Structures are given as C-alpha cells and as structure tokens.
Structure 1
Amino acid sequence: MKLYPALSLFTLVAATPALAQPVPDGSAVGDDSIVVTASRVTDEAREIGSTVTVVTEEALARNQIIFVKDALLDVPGVVVSTDRPGANTSVSIRGSDNDEALWLIDGIELGDPSSTSTQYSPEHLTAADISRIEVLRGNQSSLYGSDAIGGVVNIITRRASEEGLSVSAQAEYGAYDTLNGGASVLGKSGPVDFRLTATGYRHDGPSLSDPATANPPGSVSEDDEYWRYGFSGRAGLAATDTLSFQAIGFWLDAFSDLDGTTTDNLNTVKKREYALAGQGSFRSTDGKLKADLTASRYVARRLYFGTSNLPEGDLYKGTKDALRLAVRWGGEGPISIAAGGEMEWEKTDQVTNYSGNLGEKIDTKSAYAEVALRPIDGLTLTGAARIDDNSRFGSFDTYRGTIAYAFGPAKLRASYGTGAKAPGLYQLFDPTYGNPDLGVQTSKGGDVGIDLAIAGGLEAELTYFFGSKRNEIVFDGSIAPYGGYTQYGRTRARGIEAGLVARPLPWLTLRQTYTYIDHETDEDQTGGYIDSGRPKSIATSSVTLTPIERASLTARIRFRDGDESGYGGDTEAYTILDLLTSYGITEKIEVYGRVTNVTDAQYQVSYGKNALGASAYGGVRVRF
C-alpha cells in the first residue's frame, strides 16, 4: 500500500513526455473548451492561468456518480471527509477547511449562515442533471469574496438546447436496501426552454459508528437509516436577440443519523434546504459587451433530535440573500475588462437547548474589477482586485494575478493571490461558544503548472502550489467554562497536483490522478511549524475498456494516506478497488452495475466512521 503513491506518480511521469497537466476523468480542457468559473474577463481555456478541473456529464455517468461529493474524490488537490452516502461531509481544497471552499449552482451562491462558519455541506447534493462541475483551486477571494480562500466548486446543470421534449429516468437498487432514482423532463419551444427534475435516495445502514473502534468494544450494532428526496429546475426565455431571462432553483429534504465517534446514539437530524434565483442577461450583437444581473436566496434549516435537544428539535436556520451585477467588455482583442458589484445579506435563527438561542444578521457590499491583456499571440495576463465592506468588520481588500501562455497542444500557467475570510455568525455570537472580538483571517498563495491536450490521445496536467493563512479562527477547549472560538496561529501548505488521461488504443482509456499535500501548523505563532497529520498522498488509477459499441468496463483503484489530524484518533492508509460496467441495450436504454470495495477492505476515511464493505448495485437509465 505504501508504494502506491510512488507507483502512481511514476506511471504518470513515464507516460507523459516532459509536459504534464491533469484534467481527469474525461474532463479535457482543450483550446476550444469553455471554462466559466476561473475568470470574469475570459472563458477560453487557453487563456486561463488558474488551475481548474472540469468533471463532465460523461464522466459522471461512466463513474455512476450519485452524490456530487463522490465526483470530487478523484479531483487533484481535493480531500473529501467521507465516501459514504448521507454522512456529514467536509471538502478541503489544497489543505483548506470546508468553510474556505465556495459552492455555486448555476450562479447561486450556497452557504449556511447558521453553521459554525458560513459554509456549505454538500452531503445531500446529487449529480442528477448536472452538465459539468468546475473545480477552481487556489485563492479566489478577489473574484468570489470571503468564502473562496481554498477555491470554488461551480455546478452547471443541463439546459434544453434543441427543439422538442425529452424525458430521462434512472432507477437503481443495491446493498443495504439502497434505492435510488430520478426523472427529468427537458423541453424547448422557440424562445422558451425548461427543465424539471425529481430525485430520491434511501438506504438502511450499516452503523455510522465503526464497530472496529467502538468504545466499549461491541457497543456498536444498530443500522443507521438515511434518506433524501428533492426537486430542481430551470426555465429560460430569450426575449430578444440580445436579452434573456431565466429562473433557477432546487429544494430537498433529508434525514440522517448522528452516531458519536466511537459510540451508537439515538441522535438524528432533519435538513431542508432550498435555493432560487432570477437572472437577466444582455449580450451585444457583436459579442463584446455582456452584462448579468442575478438575485438569489439560499435557505438551510436543520432540526436536531436527541437527549440533549429540545423535544421539538434544536433549530438552526440560515438564510443568504444576494444581488450581483457582472459586466464584461472585450472580445479577442488586446484587452478585456470586467467589473461588478455584489450585495449579500446573511441571517441566522437559532433556537436550541444545546447552546442557547440566537438571532443575528450581517451584510457585505463588494466591488471588483478584472482586466485581461494579450500582448502577443498565445499570451494572456489577468489582474483582479476586490474590496469588501462588511457591516461588522469594515473594509478589506484582496487581489489576484494570472499568466497563461498557450503554444501548440501545451499551456504554461501561473497564478498568485490573496484571500480573506470573515468569521461566521455562530462563531461571533453563539451564547455559549461565540466570541464577538473575532476578526478577519487572511491568506495568500499561488501555483505554477503546465497543461497538455493532444486531440484524441493525451490530456495531462502538473501543478505545484503553495499557500499560507494567518489569524485562523479555531475552537479552543480550554476557554472557560465550555470552550469557545478564538483567533491565533498560522498554517501553510504546499504540494503537487497531477493527472493524466491517455487513450493508446480506441478501446482502452487510462486515467491517473495524484495529489501530494504538505500541510503544517504554527498554533502559537512562534515560527515552529509542525506537520498537521493530514493525509499527504491521495491517488486514483482507472482503466476503462470499451470492447464493443455501447459497452464499457472500468476497474478503479483509490488510495489515501493515513490521517492523524482528526478528532479522537488516527486512520490508517487504505486502498480500495471498484469495478463498474454498463451496456447500452439501445441508444435509449442502458443497464449498468458496480461493485465497490471489491476486496471488502476495512478502512476509515475519518476516524471512528464506518465505511461501507463490499457492495453491489445495479440500475437502468432510460432516455427518450
């Protein structure tokens, strides 16, 4: 097992001639690709100086992805805290915390102001009707504000582009009485288009707490149910050749068990969340001027039930409202300019027996500008700056610069920027743990890398990254009487992200991703950095065979280093094997199946949490 990261990297280097850059799992970013997340002044992949991975609709289907978090397991630089459906999920980008990654769905900014720090928990988010997922890594505060120190996850859903009506559906059954299904309708008639999707999922266990680390031994036995169902949709109107409107939204309801780290308990949580947005867009006839105005709302409501909660449940409700204007001018000439403004209102309502009641608000006004310069053919320079005016902390500014030079099938790129993260309402004002004296934490960092895209044969990426944070907000258990939030210490991270997609034969595709992260902390600000114990090496290798038309077979190996930074204990390094297959009976009907953790390996992604053993699933997809 310990040899796996070295072997993976050797395979990558041996197969990639001098130039390497990963765009894993069918996510090619060739010269004609569009990347909407990485810049406000350009969406041409060859001009992007940031590190971005695109997970395509084809990749989601081939890997039989049900939950979005599972698609991120194979993205370089990303660490996900669980691979189990429904379990509380944190996503770390380049060593960042979960609250330092910004999530977007079709331009709607997600984030729960009633959580510990305004952040998004993606455990219930399914991959149904997603067209692509763009993962932008590194400091992005100059473009996206306070919650984007680590990076951005932007989800773009499907939209009808052809006249007529289409219907698709999926149904699946498998281990632990898992039932998963959904259906969607897409339609377009002249200037009007729409999509409506319904999804559902449930399973009956096993225990969330791992019997292998139970305390006392043998005390963990109950199965832990999980279910979720939801709806999503969008509707658009092309009012004129230059003006269009659309409405977007989703709603979901979910139920999860909440075992302790090493014990069973009867605690549960019900979560309901929804988001909606309206957008108006203007595009000049020559394509040089673009303007978008978006108004959005995201609401998350959590009810916790247990022996220490209110009989009706402890309530945490967060609301995030936003109004955003983005304007861009310039085409393929020597200069492009983008500017915009945002207003954001955050509110939390908390009624609990656990830590007291809370009702607080905060708002932020922001303005940004970005410019792109193209002094010679193939070279693009961008610079961005932003100022945020917070109703509690005053103003703070961030900046970012990138360079991209594309030549032939290769692109050299580099970026550097600063970030800022404001504390959340819970951290500031919770009656038991809050600290109203907290301030803004800051970060800086960058990366250098190379991308390679040879049509039909090879796609690769290699990146070196570095970053640091100051004045981090942490929970200190020594603060009387129950612990609380304070601000001290520093962290720094550096590492390598790599990926490869090779197609040496028409029926054979090889994929490889690898991440190495060196993460260190200096809690007392003395300059004595020590290793934080987080996983250092993460890798995925896969081989896909397509022996006949409409048939595929994939063998996938995932490796992850041990984790010594988690609460309660350390996890060991592990390697798991999955097998996936699919066959299109016709162009409209496909059957598929997978066996995960084929060898029934015993492992923990996070200490004390029970991963699933060998599991088999089968399903059918229909589209007409």
Structure 2
Amino acid sequence: MRHLLLSTAALLAAALPVLAQEAATALPETIVTATRVPTALERVPASITIITRQQIEERGHATLAEALSAVPGLRLAPSGGPGQQASVFLRGNSSRSVLVLLDGVPLNDPSEANGAFNFGNDLLFDVERIEVLRGPASSLYGSAAVGGVVNLVTRRAASRPFAPYGELAGGTQGTVRGGLGATGTIGAFDYLASANGLRTDGFNATARRFRNTLNERDGLQAGALALRLGWTPMEGTRVEGTLRYRQNRFDLDSVPRDDPNSTGDDRRLMGQLRAETRLLDGLWTTGFRVAFTQDRRAYVNLPDARSTASTRDHYRGERLGFDWGNTLRLPGLGFATDGALNFGVTHAREEVFSLAGNTPFQTRVNAAQDSTAGHIALQYRLWNRMDVTAGLRHDAVGSFTGATTWRAGVVYHVPELGARLRASGGSGFNAPSLFQRFGTIGTAFRGNPNLRPERSLGYELGGELDLPLFGRPDFATLGATWFQSRVRDLIIFQGTSVANVDRANLQGVELTLAVRPAPWLSAELGWTITDATDARTRRPLPRRPEHVISATARLTPLPGLVIAPQLQFTGRSPEGPFASYRDDGTSFTTERRNKTGTLFNITASYVVREGITAFVEGRNLGNSRWEPVNGFQTPGRSLLVGTRFGF
C-alpha cells in the first residue's frame, strides 16, 4: 500500500510539468473557512472543496450526507437512510475529529458520547454553500478540528425588498419534500425567513440478508425553521441575528434484527448575535459574536413481540460561546503584498445531562466545562506568486488541560504552466468529551477525569494543473495531494473506564480530474487512496476503505435542461470483531471486511420559465443492497419529482 501511495504521488508530480504546454488560470473563488480571512481559493494552502447552491440543486442533494458523498478524502458511513446516524471519516481520522460549523458557529453536540457530529440529520434548504477544509485546523478552530472542518454557510439576503423561493416534490416511499422562504433588503435592514420539511416512509435499514428480518420500513419526519435579521447602518458596519430550529422524528432499527417500535426524536436550536465594523479607513475589521446551541435527543423503545424490554433515553447538550475576532490589513513590504493579521479570543461553556438505559446499567452524565482560547494568524503574498500563511492557537479546556496548536502553509503559483503547488503542515487536538471524563454506566463504568486530549501532527503536499487542449483554455484541471498524519493519545475503552493508549498512522493520496470538453459537458472524478492503521498492532482501522471513487457530470444538451449523474464506488472496509454479522444474525469474533459497493444517482432539471424549474431525482437506480456499515443496508431505489422557484 505504501509503495502504491508513493509511486502514485511521484508519477503525478513528474507528470505535471510535462503535460502543460500553455495554461489558463481558473476564476478565483473566495472562501473564509481556511483562514478566517476572505481569500481566493487558489491562494489557500489547504485542500478545500466547495459545494455551491447551484450544485446542491442540480445534483438533488436534500441532506448534508448526500452533499458530502463525493468530497475527496471523505468517507461517509451511514447506518440507514435520512435521519439515521451517519459518521464521517476525513482522511482516515475518527468520526469525532471533524468539526461542523453553521456560519462559523460550532454544531457538534456536547451530549454525544464521543463528541462526534451526526451527518444524517441536517437538511439543506437554507444552505447557500458548504466549505470542506481537509487537514488539521485546530490552530483556527480548536478542539475536534483534527481531520478538518465542514462549514455550512446559509443563504444571503437578496438586494431587492422581497425575493421568495421554495420547492415542492413528491415520490416513491411516500416521500414529500417542501420548503418556502423569502429574503430581501429594505433600506439599511435585510431579512431571511424559511421553513422546510421532509417526510418519507423510507426503507428497512437492517440488511435484507438477515434471515429473521421483519422488513419493516424506517420512516422520517423532519422539519426546520430559519430566521435572520440584519442591519447595516453604514458601509463596513453590520449587526446580525440568527435563529435556526430543526427537529427530526424517525424510526430506528437494530442489528441483526429489526425493532418495530424503536423511535427517536432529535432537536437542535441554534442562535447567534454578531456585530462587525471597520476602523482606520477599513484597515482594521473587528467583530464580536455570542452564540448558543441546544441539542435535545430522546429515544424510546417499547415492548414488542420480540422483546419485553422498555427504554427511554434522554440526552441534553448545550453550548454558549463568545468570540472576539479581528482582521488587520498590513502594509506592503516591497516584495510582500496583501498582508493580513487575524487574531482573536474565544470562550465557550458546555453542559451535558444524559440519562439512558435501565438499571443496573443506566448511563448518566451531568457535567459542564469551560474552554478559553486565543489565536493569531498571518498571511502574505510574496513576489506576486507565492502565498504564505502561519497560525498559532492556545486552548485551555476546563481546569485539566491545555493545548497549543499551529499550522503553516505555502502556495506557489506558476502561471506560465497554469500550475499551483501547495505544501502545509499543522497540529491538532481533540479534547475528551464530557461523557468520557464524567460519564457512568451503573457500577460497571466510570469516566476518567484525567484524560489527555488526543493530538495529531499532519502534513500535505499537492497541486493543481490547468490543461488547455483542443482549443479550449479550460479543458481540464488535474489535481493530486499526498497527506500524512500521526495521531497519539487516542481515547478508547479499557476495562471499566477509558484511557489514552492508542496511536494511529494515516496517509493517502487524493486524485482529482475535472474536464470541460464542450460548453454543454463537464465532469469531475475523485479517487482517494487511504492507508489508516493502528500504530501498535499495524491493523487497519475500522470503516476506512482503501479506495473511494466518485464521478459526477453536468450535461446541458438543450437550453434550460441540466442532467447530473453521480457514480460512487466504495472499496472494501474493515470492521472490528463483533461488529460484523452472519446471515443468521450471529457475530464474527474476528475482524472482517465489508464488501464493496457502487451507487448510481441521477438528477435532471429543466427551467420551465424564468424563476421556475422542474426536476426529477433518482437515487440508487441500480437498487444496490450495499452495506456501508455492516448490517445496515443503503436505501433502495427511489424517485422524486418536483418543482422549485426563486425570483
């Protein structure tokens, strides 16, 4: 495996200058997640994927999990359909090592036992774009940003007084999806309000291969409300308030047998108030934010013919955060231009109350902790072709630990060849969750208040090359990135508690190819090769497949018609002992590998008239029964027909 990674990276590095005879540079796209300073995408020394609102609609992505499925370096592991648990492994890092933001506000639920985010819950109706930063980002965002950051950016207000938008769709499995919203600007004030929902009977999440399956469907009822009010009294000064509420009610299955009356209710309320102004003729931008999240989860399993047991589990997690951020535009220094210094202080308090299970194995957590951090980052452009960044942050978590993290990177532009070369490195840390520190399970388990944070050190080297061919200046863009990371002090269950005992070695290659052979045709191909192993045992880590390949295309054969097919291949992935099941429902006591899986989706949309679009979405058209997580089957074939409008 290691030889394959090194050989592939070396081959691509050698091929880049050979393939380029002349080149055209792609139009820059501005992002904020990677540096906290609005920066053109091509000048950021990090691996970034941007999913725009146009792509969300043309590809038929209704949920966050669907939208992330084709991101290079990212492996999605859902345990069922929409609303069910879905984990993300970014560059082989654990699912608790990905930080999720909404307009910069952390969304990871403090009451989740490992601090991981559930990617199966969120709908995208009010989301304008998704920015995915791969690689350690703790120097910017602190704990949990070991593998990377996913930032959801909500829709912006329209410049006119009233701009409505919405959609309505229905299809197989009793699915109905709809939403209605409006934005506008009236003088110095602007607003956004939206409501959306999804209802479906769904599919049976438990694999059909199990001999004792009931084949009962696991449905979902999901809804979300969003409201944002903004005030811009003068140029460069803005005050904005946001509220967002989401609630999902869903059926649950267990493995290896169905559970006909197990249900869940997952709610989140998020709000923020932020103010920002420019000082010193725009050289200094300073802003303050106060934000909160409240997560409520409840799971109920009543007695049935298969089991007389009854459980009612409740989880409550809250976070209150304060953030003071600044950007100072720096003067040029001859060969150094476009300088910016970003610095700030953040403080957050997390509280958790959980009560789950029945005695004598009842799980309890009732705890809180504070964290305070200061961060600083510097960026400059040198000789008008090299962009450099460096950042440092120190986090003090509770009274038990502190962590200092860093990140540095460089992008070197070769416009003569249409090439961009990137190199970066950084450290990360992941504080233990409140359950890991203070949780109890009857008398059989006690958390470890003396846990240390998980820590990582990672590097990446890569680049992109624009290829003009057949008379088209933007015919193709070829990309390759090699990454490596070492993670230590991993937290695992040990005996009747948890301890920092494990280490992991992660490395891989992300290969991308975007082709634009004709004005009516474009396609993207991504291939991620990952080698993730336990540093002590040398065994592969569970649920990290060696190969993930995704292919997407955009065809416009007629004016107003867009056809967007998507093909996803996931290679074999290991499962730990007792996590793999035979067809009769018994578990294997040794490590196994999940089989490969291929999914094919396609969405077609047609502009009926200006502002009105009709669409058809087909999912898993091959009706694959692939199990992304052993025992949990991917949803079957489905079709949705609808219309959306926006004026």
**Structure 2-normalised TM-score?**
0.87
Counterpart for residue 54 of structure 1: 50
Matched, 1:81 2:94: no
Residue 250 of structure 1 aligns with which residue?
244
1:350 to 354, 376, 397: 354
The superposition leaves residues 381-406 of structure 1 with CA deviations (integer Å, 9 ceiling, x where unpaired) of 21111111122323221111111112
Partner of 1:551: 561
Q: Secondary structure at the match of 1:608?
A: coil
1:486 pairs with 468, 478, 499, which one?
A: 499
1:53·1:136 contact (CA, 8 Å) conserved in 2?
yes
What is residue 537 of structure 1 aligned with on the other side?
Answer: 547
Q: How far does residue 191 in structure 1 lie from its aligned partner after superposition?
A: 1.4
Q: State whether residues 464 and 497 of structure 1, in contact with CA within 8 Å, keep that contact through their aligned partners in structure 2.
A: yes
1:40 and 2:40 aligned: no
Shift, 1:376, TM fit: 1.9
Matched residue, 1:388: 395
Once residues 312 and 240 of structure 1 are traced to their aligned partners in structure 2, the CA distance between those partners, rounded to angstroms, is 56
| 2:255 equivalent among 247, 256, 261 | 261
Determine if contact 2:242/2:273 at 8 Å carries over to the other structure. Answer: yes
Report the equivalent of 2:341.
337
CA–CA separation in structure 2 for the residues paired with 1:620 and 1:611: 26
Match status 1:422 vs 2:431? yes
Question: Which residue pairs with 2:589 in the alignment?
Answer: none
SS at match of 2:609: coil
1:134-182 residue CA offsets vs partner (Å, 9 max, x unmatched): 1001111111001100100011111124122111111111221111111
Q: CA offset at residue 418 of structure 1?
A: 0.7
Who is 2:464 aligned against? 451
Tell me the CA shift for residue 313 of structure 1.
2.8
Query: Residues 260-313 of structure 1: CA distance to partner in whole angstroms, max 9, x if unpaired?
Result: 121111322111111000000112474321112111001110111125999793
Distance 2:160 2:250 in 1: 41
Residue 592 of structure 1 and its aligned partner are, at CA, apart by 0.8
User: Any idea what SS the aligned residue of 2:436 has?
Assistant: helix
Q: 1: CA distance between counterparts of 2:476 and 2:637?
A: 33
Aligned residue in 2 for 1:468: 486
Q: Quick check: 1:310–1:352 contact (8 Å CA) kept in 2?
A: no
Structure 1 Cα separation of the partners of residues 264 and 488 of structure 2: 34
Residue 411 (structure 1) aligned with residue 411 (structure 2): no
Contact 2:12 2:480 in 1 (8 A): no
Is the alpha carbon distance of 1:19 and 1:402 closer, same or farther for their aligned partners in structure 2, counting shifts above 3 Å?
A: farther
Structure 1 contact 184–196 (Cα < 8 Å) conserved? yes
Residue 328 of structure 1 and its aligned partner are, at CA, apart by: 1.0
2:130 aligned to which of 133, 136, 155: 133
Instruction: Spell out, residue by residue over 1:440-473, the C-alpha distance to the aligned partner (whole angstroms, 9 max, x if none).
Output: 1111101111124577543442211110100101
The residue number in structure 1 matching 2:321 is 322
SS of 1:428 mapped into structure 2:
helix
Q: Deviations along 1:243-262, whole A, 9 cap, x unmatched?
A: 11101221011112221121
Structure 2 equivalent of residue 163 of structure 1: 160
1:38 & 1:460 partners in 2: Cα distance?
22
- 254 and 310 in structure 1: CA distance in 2 versus 1, 3 angstrom threshold: farther
Question: 1:486-565 counterparts in 2 under 5 A?
Answer: 486-522=499-535, 525=536, 528-532=537-541, 534-565=544-575
Q: Distance in 1 between matches of 2:310 and 2:287?
A: 46
Aligned residue-pair number:
598
- Aligned partners of 1:502, 1:530: CA distance in 2, in Å? 37
CA distance in 1, matches of 2:502, 2:311: 39
Give the whole-Å Cα distance in 1 for the aligned partners of 2:637 and 2:365.
44
1:238 to 232, 235, 241: 232
Write the deviation string for residues 562-583 of structure 1: whole angstroms up to 9, x where unpaired: 2222522542102222222111
Structure 1 residues 278 and 488: CA distance shift in structure 2, 3 A: same
Aligned to 1:304: 299
Structure 1: 5+ residue runs without aligned partners?
22-27
Bigger shift: residues 75-84 or 244-253: 75-84
In 2, distance between residues paired with 1:233 and 1:107? Answer: 16
Q: How does 1:136-215 map to 2 (within 5 A)?
A: 136-212=133-209, 214=210
Find the partner of 1:123 among 110, 114, 120: 120
Q: Judging changes above 3 Å, is the alpha-carbon distance between structure 1 residues 115 and 310 closer, same or farther for their aligned structure 2 residues?
A: farther
Q: 1:312 to 1:240 in 2, by over 3 A?
A: farther
Identity of aligned residues (%): 25
CA pair 395-576 structure 1, distance change in 2 beyond 3 A: closer
Instruction: Describe the superposition over 1:513-536 as per-residue Cα deviations: whole angstroms up to 9, x where unpaired.
Output: 1111111103xx4xx422225211
Q: Which residue of 2 aligns with 1:279?
A: 274
Q: Per-residue deviation at 1:506?
A: 1.0
Question: Partner letter of residue 108 of structure 2?
Answer: G
Alignment match of 2:595 (pick from 572, 592, 610): 572
How far did residue 19 of structure 1 move? 8.7
Which of 96, 99, 112 is equivalent to 1:99?
96
How many Å separate the matches in 2 of 1:337 and 1:150?
25
TM value normalised by structure 1: 0.91
Give, in whole Å, the separation in 1 of the partners of 2:388 and 2:110.
Answer: 36
Letter in structure 2 aligned against 1:429: F
Displacement of 1:30 in angstroms is 4.2
- Residues 191, 331 of structure 1: CA spacing in aligned structure 2 closer, same or farther, 3 A cutoff? farther
Distance in 2 (CA, whole Å) between partners of 1:18 and 1:165 is 51
Structure 1 residue 594: Cα displacement: 2.3
- Mapped partners of 1:250, 1:414: distance in 2: 38
SS in 1 for 2:461: strand
Assess if the C-alpha contact under 8 Å between 1:168 and 1:623 holds in 2: yes
Aligned to 1:25: none
Contact 1:172–1:618 under 8 Å retained in 2 = yes
* Structure 1 residue 605: Cα displacement: 1.1
Deviation, structure 1 residue 492 = 1.0
**C-alpha distance in 1, partners of 2:152/2:213?**
41
Runs of 5+ in structure 2 lacking a partner?
A: 468-472, 582-592
Distance 1:353 1:609, change over 3 A: closer
Kept in 2, the 8 Å contact 1:347–1:362? The answer is: yes
Q: 1:373 aligns with which of 377, 380, 392?
A: 380
- Residue 66 of structure 1 corresponds to 62
Deviation readout 1:529-563 (Å, 9 max, x if unpaired): 22225211111113332111110223322100122
Q: State the Cα distance separating 1:237 from its structure 2 match.
A: 0.6
Q: Kindly provide the CA deviation profile for residues 351-378 of structure 1, in whole angstroms up to 9, marking residues without a partner as x.
A: 3344343311000110011112333221
Counterpart Cα distance in 1 of 2:311 and 2:184: 42
Shift of 1:71: 0.8
How far apart are residue 184 of structure 1 and its match? 0.9
Paired residue type of 2:448: N
CA separation in 1, counterparts of 2:61 and 2:276?
A: 32
In the superposition, relative to structure 1, how do residues 582 and 374 fare at CA in structure 2: closer, same or farther (>3 Å)? closer
Distance 1:270 1:19 in 2: 56
How is 1:3-22 mapped onto 2 (pairs within 5 angstroms)? none
**What is the SS of the residue equivalent to 2:459?**
strand
Matching of residue 362 in structure 1 with residue 376 in structure 2:
no
